[in-house]
């Protein structure tokens, strides 16, 4: 998880990713942030995130992002 948090801080260092559980719902992350995160996750974890997975539920918290990554790695 620490690796993911550091990756996310590279996108937005002004957010406490450990504490926030409504990153998308509260408008903290915008669409440009999500696109950058998707690209970085793809490179870092060697996975492709399909468009169907790019939904608020998968990006509202670091736990949700990590769960999505783990789920996609199992495929």
The CATH code of the domain that includes 47 is 1.10.1200.10
Give tens-digit pLDDT for 4-52.
999 999 999 999 999 999 999 999 999 999 999 999 999 999 999 999 9
Asked if residue 69 has pLDDT above 90, the reply is yes
Show Cβ contacts of residue 17 under 8 Å, excluding neighbours closer than 6 positions: 5, 8, 9, 23, 61, 62
Left if phi > 0, otherwise alpha if psi is -120 to 50, otherwise beta: which for 18? alpha
pTM above 0.85, yes or no: yes
| Number of domains the chain contains | 1
Determine the structural domain holding residue 15 and report its residue range: 2-74
């Amino acid at each position: 998880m620490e690796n993911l948090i550091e990756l996310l801080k590279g996108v937005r260092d002004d957010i406490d990713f450990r504490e926030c559980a409504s990153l998308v719902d509260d408008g903290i992350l915008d669409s440009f942030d999500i696109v950058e995160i998707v690209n970085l996750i793809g490179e870092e974890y060697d996975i492709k995130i399909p468009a169907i997975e790019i939904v608020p539920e998968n990006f509202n918290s670091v736990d949700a992002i990590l769960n999505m990554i783990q789920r996609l790695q199992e495929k």
